Amino acid sequence: MEIMKVIAALQKDFFLSGERINLKPMILEDVADRTGHDISTVSRVTCNKYAQTPYGNILLKDLFSTTLHSTDGGLVSTEKVKQTIVELLDKEDKSKPFTDFEIVKELNKLGFEIARRTVVKYREGLHLPNARMRKTIV
């Protein structure tokens, strides 16, 4: 219960909105430091456990995410970056879709510091095809 209270406090914005883009960067160590438990204990407690929310059942492990640096020196959740990639690809011109390098440039404009190979990894993890496969002929 103590660990879940800390997770709920750290991810308050997510639990209020249900939007994955509101997930804050959080690792097992953040929860362990606040509870006084060992990292392995936090991992065991959250492994294969769900939280029932108004937005459906959420796997606790899905609430943990790593971070990337923003261009202003802050930290950004990888979930936010992935959601932004999805939004960029939804709004792109389908006759001339963004290449991975162009996605990097767009993300840089939005304040995300990210490498092209990381964009490829996230895009593939989201099951989004490359630019050539997303192109539609009018």
pLDDT tens-digit readout, 107-123: 999 999 999 999 999 99
**Whole-angstrom distance, CA of residue 29 vs CA of residue 38:** 8
**Whole-angstrom distance, CA of residue 88 vs CA of residue 119:** 12
Question: What's the pTM value of the predicted model, to 2 decimals?
Answer: 0.69
Tell me the per-residue pLDDT of 82-93, one tens digit each, with 9 for 90 and over. 999 999 999 999
List CB contacts of 133: < 8 A, sequence separation 6 or more. none
Contact 63, 7 (CB under 8 A): yes
Tell me the per-residue pLDDT of 40-83, one tens digit each, with 9 for 90 and over. 999 999 999 999 999 899 999 989 888 888 888 788 888 889 99
Contact 70, 112 (CB under 8 A): yes
How confident is the prediction for the chain on average, in pLDDT?
A: 91
Tell me the per-residue pLDDT of 8-20, one tens digit each, with 9 for 90 and over. 999 999 999 988 8
The distance from CA 114 to its chain's CA centroid, rounded to whole angstroms, is 13
List CB contacts of 40: < 8 A, sequence separation 6 or more. none
List CB contacts of 112: < 8 A, sequence separation 6 or more. 68, 70, 71, 76, 81, 84
